[in-house]
Chains A and B, each alone.
Chain A
Amino acid sequence: MPLDSTLQGKRDFKVVGTRPLRPDGIDKVTGRAKFGADATAPGMLVGRILRSPHAHARIKKIDTSKAEKLPGVKAIVTREDLPDHTDGDALLYDVLYNIMAREKALYEGHAVAAVAAVDTRTAREALKLIKVDYEVLPHVTDVDEAMKPGAPILHSTIFTDGLEPKPKKPSNVVRRYEFGHGDVEAGFKKADIIVERTFKTEATHQGYIEPHACLANVGPDGQGELWVCTQGHFMVRDTCARLLGMDISKLRVTASEIGGGFGGKTTVFIEPVALALSRKANRPVKVVMSREEVFKASGPTASTSIDVKIGVTKDGRITAADATLRYQGGAFAGSPVEFGAMSAFACYDLENARTIGYDVVTNRPKQAAYRAPGAPMAAFAVESVIEELARKVGMEPIDFRMKNAAREGTRSSYGPTYGPIGLLATLEKAKQHPHFKAPLSPNQGRGMACGFWFNFGGQTCVSLNVNSDGTVALSVGTPDIGGSRASMCLMAAEELGIPYDKVRAIVADTSALGYNDVTDGSRTTFATGMATILAARDAIKKLTARAAQIWGISAEAVTWEKGYAKPAGSNAGNFPPMSIAEIAAQAGATGGPIAGHHEYSADGAGVSFATHICDAEVDPETGATKIVRYTVLQDAGKAVHPSYVEGQFQGGAVQGIGWALNEEYIYGKDGRLQNAGFLDYRIPVCSDLPMIDTVILEIPNPGHPYGVRGVGETSIVPPLAAIANAVSAAAGVRLTSLPMSPPRILAALDRKAAAE
């Protein structure tokens, strides 16, 4: 949809920008809210999945005969029960292969069979009775190893795309990407100082506290229902229907309350399997992942290896920036390296820029999106080099960034030219922030970093019904993962001119609305919000027409103000204003129910920038790091519900702290994950952290009626770098590998001591 300039201009908000209580709040603090695992159905069976113990193995035979005979077992599903309906769609075939292994198991935890039984004990027992005959194959889990000639090859069908000439031999490199402009070689010739470094980051998991869970119910007529915790129930419906060879109309999916996603619930894992079990058993089947399964068989993010080279003149102007990024995204194509390569230099105004990305497969679980997928690792590498260059030219890192920052009119390193953006504003605000003046104690260091994220729009459909008492029922199709129903109610109330508590927003099931893209890409408050506003405008048009009809004047002669229809001027007639409730009460006599709706592919999502400042204290004895002070400054365009905007800033920053300091997927030589639990994969706990200070900037996005930008993802982009810069300052040595766990820090301190 092209930008409609009539959309804009509303700056005098009544309810948008306030902080009312969320509509689902009471249910969530009393334990009444129903999440994925909280549903039951009469006659429900328990579904369990058998998973490969091997990182890479050919599956020669699966013998389920003993398990089938176990009393209480009602259905067993293997690859045979999930024939290929993907019709040449390679991406969908990967999904099919990922949810149930086919000729090979490609990672430890890959599903090979599933059982539905009357209870958990029987299901567990049955799994033990399934005999799988494996031929174990050599495996590879490291991205650099997987790219080497002679590495074990996962797929004989992958021939690196994007190379000239096209390779003749299969490899683990799915594709090469390249972005940029100018001439980097010429740029480096103009540089006085060049810094070039290599960085590594480990894979991390989104770490949502709610494991994947669903309840499937397929009847003998082939019609099915699915209750599931997901970021996108329309995606789940379409994907499952296609994988199972069902008509989309035969499957109805309801999104439960969702206990965190962060991108990890934007695809399917157990859902098609649960449906297949239910179809075979003719009974409802509930499948809930254990935490171990979540780690081993859902979709963590990529591990990476990145080279960055940047040149500057003596006076601190960047002349060229070059980066090569290698991301492994698990056993299938689709690591987020493309976004990494696109976003790496997005914060800078560059004459010469180039990024090259390699998408690599390894014997690990197929990655899923994780908050600003691909960008945090790239920012870690680039912002570390930026900090080092600033010191080398003798500038304060913040001044160096301001001098080179992207601004309105800058041609971004990934192509488009920026409109109004808030990067400089966050840097200016950061410079004035008291954080920069806070004293540092011994062993403490300060670091900062900037970050960028695109934000998305996507397919969206909203319907807004005016009830007979003038209250409003708003149906949206994007699951609420962090308070978005409150934001939708605020925007509907704002537009209609009625109180916030007269609007009730629900996440409707797939039978009630047209297709909605997943809640991802920071799109919901932006895209569903804009659809809500436009649906409200549609309803207002109908409300004013009804008022006109009642008054016997033309519809054009009626305006809408603060929840009332009014004659547009004195020659329109002299009628007292008519409230939404009065109009709604007469709906039956004036043409029936009144509703507004809007369906579109949302365009105009504004990019978003953030600056983070971090103080870290490193204990030179133990190598342990403590974050002592942390500040997030980010452009929100317009903060619809500021508390939840702050919450997004804080949550992203803390996930970044975990990624930078503790979290990592640790693989043994056998290709098995060593730390598939919250004890050994340690996410930040309350006592690890300081308060996270936030500053919301509002540089309106011209593509949204209220100026809203997505805010959910950008906050995880700068932390890895900001913390690395703080830790490097505190330790007096540059850290180039994440996580900066105590052993890594001690090793770096030893290297420093040896060099001195």
Chain B
Amino acid sequence: MSAIHVTTKINGDVVDYVCEADETLLDVLRNRLGLTGAKEGCSTGDCGACSVTIDGRLTCSCLVLGAEADGREIGTIEGMAKGDELHPLQRKFLEHAALQCGICTPGILVAAKSLLEHNPKPTETEVRFGLAGNLCRCTGYDKIVRAVMDAAQEMRRA
């Protein structure tokens, strides 16, 4: 099969790669570009561990082909902190102990950031439904919800 050449922007940087026609964006990120922050929990769109944004829209990267990223802008967990300054969500996740094993954390942070961009003042219920596509097996979500609400409040004040 012939490879496809793709030019895209990832976390603000222009990136070129070649991939197979049937290769997912998640596989491209992880296996070709060394961006292993996005995780594969299921590869069927059910766990959210592979969450990224494409042109600002929250997406499961396991459900998108690498070839489809051509000309788009991809955001991954690796681009969330600005230099050594953590995003408020990242800081609040640490302060609230909102992770145990941390495998779900990159996906949940990407999803939470996208949620707060669309709804800066979510209720608890809105946070819960906003994160319903991201599985966490360790925490029972309690501390995750608290961390997101707290980060939202801090971001509104800033």
Interface residues, chain A, with chain B CB atoms under 8 Å away: 19, 21-22, 24-26, 28-35, 37-38, 121, 206-211, 257-262, 288, 290-291, 481-483, 641, 643-644, 646-648, 650-651, 653-655, 677-679, 683-687, 689, 691-692
Contact = CB atoms under 8 A, between A and B. Distances in A.
Interface string B68-85: 000000001110110000
B78 A686 contact: no
Given A655-B137, A678-B47, A686-B144, 14 more contacts: A29-B106, A30-B37, A30-B86, A31-B76, A209-B41, A209-B49, A211-B41, A260-B103, A261-B101, A650-B140, A654-B139, A654-B140, A678-B135, A686-B141
Contacts of B103: 35, 208-210, 257, 259-260
A650 B139 contact: yes
Question: Most chain-B Cβ atoms within 10 A of its Cβ — which of A30, A210, A689?
Answer: A30
A29 B36 contact: no
Contacts of B80: 30-31
Question: Most chain-A Cβ atoms within 10 A of its Cβ — which of B38, B46, B76, B78?
Answer: B46
A311 B32 CA distance: 65
A31 B106 contact: yes
Contacts of B93: 29
A678 B103 CA distance: 16
B104 interface: yes
A686 B143 CA distance: 11
Contacts of A691: 124, 142, 145
Contacts of A34: 36
Nearest to B44: A677
Nearest first, the 4 closest Cβ-Cβ pairs linking A and B are A31-B37, A259-B103, A654-B140, A28-B102
Nearest to A38: B36
A253 to B, nearest CB: 19
Given A26-B94, A211-B41, A678-B135, A647 B143 contact: yes
A260 B77 contact: no
Contacts of B78: 30-31
Contacts of A26: 86, 94
B53 interface: no
Nearest to A681: B46
A446 B70 CA distance: 54
Given A260-B137, A291-B44, A655-B137, A31 B77 contact: yes
A30 B37 CA distance: 7
B16 interface: no
7 contacts: A31-B38, A208-B103, A260-B101, A483-B100, A650-B142, A678-B44, A689-B141
Contacts of A687: 125, 128-129, 131-132
Question: Most chain-B Cβ atoms within 10 A of its Cβ — which of A35, A210, A648?
Answer: A210
Contacts of A689: 128, 140-142
Question: Most chain-A Cβ atoms within 10 A of its Cβ — which of B99, B106, B129, B132?
Answer: B99
Contacts of A38: 30, 36
A686 B137 CA distance: 10
A46 to B, nearest CB: 10
B46 A677 contact: yes
B41 to A, nearest CB: 4
Contacts of A683: 135, 137
